[in-house]
Amino acid sequence: MLTPFVMMLMASGQAPEAKAPSPTTLPRQADTQPYEKRDTSQGVPTDPLFDKSRVAADDPDFILTAVENGRQATLDAQGAAKQLASESLRAMAAAIGSQNETTTHKLEALAKRKGWRLPESNPQRASTLPAAGPDRAGANFIVNQISAHQATVAQYKAQIAGKGDPELKRTLEQALPGYEKNLARLLEAKP
C-alpha cells in the first residue's frame, strides 16, 4: 500500500528527499566552563536548594541543637584524645574537647537562667568517629571535626546575625574565635 503512494509522489516530481544523518545530540548544552577553569573549591553546594545562607533560629531551638551538637563533639574529641596515634592530633583533640565542653556548659547555664528546655542526657551516646586503624583514625578525626566545625561556625554566625537574645549572642561571640582557630588548625593538620 505504501508503494503506490511513493510511486505517485515520484511521478508528480515530489519524491521524498533522503535526509543526512543528524548530528549527535550529546552534550545537549555546551560546556560553558571548561574543566581547566572550573572552581576547585570543596564544600560548595551545587544544588540550588542548598545555596541559601543560614538564618538565625528561635533561641530555645538553637540552644537545643547547639547543646546536643556540643555534647556529641565533646565526646568525639575526648575519645580521639585518648586513642589517636599522633601526639599532635591528640593534643588538638584535647583542645577541641575542652572548647566544646566549655561552650556547652555556658550554653546550658544560659538556658537554665532563661528557662529554655535542654536536651535530655544520653548515657549511651556513642562516638560518631568510625572505627579504623591508627593511620586512618587520624584522617577520620580530621575530616569529622572539619565538618563539625564548619557547621558550628556557620550556625553561630547566623545566630549572632539574628534578632535573638543579646546574652546568647555575647556567649556565641566569645566562643566563635575558638572554633575558628580550631578549624584553621584542622585544615592544616596532617594525619
pLDDT in tens, 65-91: 999 999 999 999 988 888 888 899 999
| First-to-final CA distance of the chain | 77
Whether the per-residue pLDDT at 25 is higher than 80: the answer is no
Of 179, 144, 145, 183, give the one whose Cα is nearest residue 160: 179
* pLDDT, position 61: 92
Domain-located, residue 168: yes
Of 69, 71, 78, 72, give the one whose Cα is nearest residue 96: 78
User: Is residue 153 within 8 Å of 180, Cβ to Cβ?
Assistant: yes
Domain-located, residue 121: no
Whether the per-residue pLDDT at 14 is higher than 80: the answer is no
Predicted structure pTM score: 0.70
Domain-located, residue 36: no
Pick the range with the lowest mean pLDDT from 12-21, 101-110, 122-131: 12-21
Domain-located, residue 78: yes
For residue range 139-154, what is the model confidence (pLDDT) as tens digits?
889 998 999 999 999 9
Which CATH number goes with the domain that contains 86?
1.20.1260.10
- When divided into structural domains, the chain yields a total of 1
Domain-located, residue 30: no
Question: Which residues constitute the domain of residue 101?
Answer: 54-115+133-188
Domain-located, residue 137: yes
- The tally of CA atoms less than 13 A away on the side-chain side of residue 184 is 6
